[in-house]
Amino acid sequence: MIEGLDLALVNWSRAQFALTAMYHWIFVPLTLGLGIIIAIMETLYVKTGNPEWKRITKFWMTMFGINFAIGVATGIILEFEFGTNWSNYSWFVGDIFGAPLAIEGILAFFMESTFIAIMFFGWNKVSKKFHLTATWLTAIGANLSALWILVANGWMQKPVGMVFNPETARMEMTSFWDVLFSPMAVHKFLHTTSSSFVLAAIFVIGVSAWFILKGRDIVFARKSIVVAAIFGFLASIYTVATGDSSARSVAHDQPMKFAAFEGLYNGSEGAGLVALGLISSSETDPSNENLKDFTLKIEIPNILSYMAFMDWDAFVPGINDLIRGNEKYGIMSATEKISRGKLAIEKLKAFKEAKKAGMVAQADSLKTEIMSPDFQKNYFSYFGYGYISDPHTLVPSVPLSFYSFHIMVVLGMYFILFFLMALLYTLKGKIHKHRLFLKAAIWTIPLAYLASQAGWVVAEVGRQPWVIQDLMPTMAAVTKISAGAVQVTFWLFAIIFTTLLIAEIKIMMRQIKIGPKSEGGPSHV
């Protein structure tokens, strides 16, 4: 525990960032996926010359524009919070974390803001192909923006390509390419963007289903569903594949998170996957309220071992193994990691004091020791553990991680079936007869948002208490300001973001009721 730390400040700072991030993520996935869908629809218009595709493209472009505008506002606030609420974090790793964020602003956001104007206002002012190019570049720009944000987040989950400078007490980048192509960053980008494509496809199908139920714009709705269903089905299959590789990466680099979202308390060889489970209130370890047993669970033998290590009989460490250690499988105890982290902090402190006192020889000796490969590997890699006093605080919320993960997975499987049914009914020309499915399609929209939010809960809650895995706990990252100031801005942001969300929903619903417009005005064919 850090001396003089205000836990209320840490908790309110976390709550504020979580609030901003979750509201921001309501808008982002629709932007990422709908941009691609719009580009596909406009491509069909340019290829076929059918004006109906232009009409369809323009309608979904309006939905994109409403969502994009509000998403930008929440995203800007989110980036500012790194400086206002997490200045210690920004100081410690700003040289690394700032690079992808800067590229996102200079390259990706610049691309979006440049071509989105042509996309919206360039109809009949530029050639069809040039307009189509602008639409694709806007969609690509939005996804490139996500790339750099997710590279930064992936680095926080698995820090690579850096070295610690004891002179400045900061992390410095040694390889930009290691940061960019880190397996954690790659998996996170692919899984996050593909799941966003799924959400956008569900949104298009759900809104189109409303038009069919109302008996309006039937041709528009059917064509939209076909495009969205094909796109969504392919994206959902890819999401499953990227989710599998992402989980494997987590099993290797963040074993505690993996154990938490799988509800694995005690590791074993040939570990089974809990397909369905209900965590009870009985505590298996009195010293840690997070460790609870299952009241009910249905387990599939050996699947977890294969999913994590591509070996049916591999040992998968559980929460207790990671806290207490397991000599048989070479797992270091949390107590030992804490001890090594404290030694790393003490060496850094001794170096700083020797340098300040003008003891050059001693300072140089300590610096050489700190920078040695052996010390970096065996001690500094556990630097963040030196701030931990109770090993059990290293365990994230198991129930929240477990349930969020399983909600995401179950809904992901449902979405695959949903897209197949939407495509089958539409191609057979009988979708208007399946009113129950059409109603279900509308209600599937909020389920898509639930799955998307659940994925981020798993990613972020599952890695607690770390803001940078193993190197900086959340409590060491906060800005030293009053908890009251954070509380005020928390409620202020909650009111503003909720108002923006309500405004977006109302504007979108009004545009949906107006419907797609023909060149001469609204059409209700």
Distance between CA 514 and CA 525 in Å, rounded? 12
The pLDDT of 251-272, averaged and rounded, is 92
**Three-state secondary structure call for residue 267:** coil
Query: What's the whole-number mean pLDDT along residues 101-122?
Result: 84
Share of the chain above pLDDT 70, in %: 95
Quote the CA–CA distance of 23 and 494 in Å, as a whole number: 9
Structure tokens at 38: 């719009």
Q: Which pLDDT score, from 0 to 100, does residue 277 have?
A: 82
What is the SS3 string spanning 89-128? HHHHHHHHHHHHHHHHHHHHHHHHHHHHHHHHHCCCCCCH
- In what helix (H) or strand (E) does residue 163 lie, and over which residues does it extend? strand 162-165
Q: Are 9 and 481 in contact (CB under 8 A)?
A: yes
**What distance in Å separates the CA atoms of residue 317 and residue 268, rounded to the nearest whole number?**
7
Q: Shortest CA distance to 224 belongs to which of 448, 501, 512?
A: 512
What's the confidence (pLDDT) of residue 294? Answer: 77
Degrees (nearest 5) of the Cα angle 301, 307, 308? 110
SS3 239: helix
Confidence of residue 429 (pLDDT cuts 50, 70, 90): confident
Per-residue pLDDT, 284: 47
SS (HEC) of 372-400: CHHHHHHCHHHHHHHHCCCHHHHCCCHHH
pLDDT tens digits, 366-424: 999 999 999 999 999 999 999 999 998 999 999 999 999 999 999 999 999 999 999 99
Whether the pLDDT of residue 81 is over 90: the answer is: no
Phi, psi dihedral angles at 463 (to 5 degrees): -95, 0
Does position 513 have pLDDT exceeding 90, yes or no?
A: yes
Q: Indicate the pLDDT class of residue 241, thresholds 50, 70 and 90.
A: very high
pLDDT band at 281 (very low <50, low <70, confident <90, very high): low
**C-alpha to C-alpha distance for 106 and 131, rounded to whole angstroms:** 23
Is residue 198 within 8 Å of 236, Cβ to Cβ?
Answer: yes
Query: Would you say residue 143 has pLDDT above 50?
Result: yes
Summarize pLDDT for 436-494 with one digit per residue, the tens: 999 999 999 999 999 999 999 999 999 999 999 999 999 999 998 889 999 999 999 99
Please give the sequence-ordered ranges of beta strands (E in DSSP) within 384-506, or none if there are none. 466-468, 472-473
Among 193, 255, 150, smallest CA distance to 466 is for 255
Q: Following CA atoms 321, 333, 306, 449 in sequence, which dihedral angle do they give, to the nearest 10 degrees?
A: 90
Q: Does residue 397 contact residue 325 with C-beta atoms inside 8 Å?
A: no
d(CA 448, CA 382): 38
pLDDT at 289: 45
Burial 265-287 (b: 16+ CB within 10 A, else e): bebbebbbbbeebebeeeeebee
User: Where do the H-state alpha helices sit in 6-50?
Assistant: 7-48
**Rounded mean pLDDT, 245-272:** 92
What does the alpha-carbon distance between residue 256 and residue 264 come to, in Å, rounded to a whole number?
9
Q: What is the pLDDT of residue 523?
A: 41
Looking at residue 318, its pLDDT comes to 93
Contact call for residues 232 and 212 (beta carbons, < 8 A): no
CA distances from 301 to 275, 298, 319, 401 (A): 10, 10, 19, 21
**Angle at alpha carbon of residue 416, lines to 413 and 419, rounded to 5°:** 150
Q: Rounded to the nearest 5 degrees, what angle is found at the Cα of 187, between the Cα atoms of 185 and 189? A: 65
Q: Is the pLDDT of residue 280 over 80?
A: no
Best CA proximity match to 64, nearest among 23, 29, 110, 31 = 31
For every residue of 312-356, DSSP letters joined together read TT-EE--HHHHHH-BGGGTBPPHHHHHHHHHHHHHHHHHHHHHHH
Give per-residue pLDDT as tens, 43-75: 999 999 999 999 999 999 999 998 887 887 777
The predicted pLDDT at position 514 comes to 93
Q: In whole angstroms, what is the distance from residue 306 CA to residue 309 CA?
A: 5
Q: How confident is the model at residue 126 (pLDDT cuts 50, 70, 90)?
A: very high
Task: Classify 358 in phi/psi space as left (phi over 0), alpha (psi -120 to 50) or beta.
Answer: left
Provide the 3-class DSSP secondary structure of residue 279: strand
Q: What is the pLDDT of residue 525?
A: 38
Q: Is the pLDDT of residue 252 over 90?
A: yes
Classify the C-alpha dihedral 513-519-524-525 as positive or negative.
Answer: negative
Q: What is the mean pLDDT of the chain?
A: 90
pLDDT at 4: 59
pLDDT value for 430: 84
Whether omega before 522 lies within 30 degrees of 0, making that bond cis, reads: no
Give pLDDT, residue 1. Answer: 54
Residue 393 sits at φ, ψ, to 5 deg, of -75, -10
Higher pLDDT, 1 or 346: 346
Q: What is the pLDDT of residue 524?
A: 39
The SS3 assignment for 516 reads coil
Do the Cβ atoms of 61 and 54 come closer than 8 Å?
no
> How confident is the model over 8-35, as pLDDT tens digits?
999 999 999 999 999 999 999 999 999 9
Higher pLDDT, 84 or 235: 235
Comparing C-alpha atoms, which of 219, 221, 203 is closest to residue 419?
203
Say how far apart CA 368 and CA 363 lie, in whole Å.
9
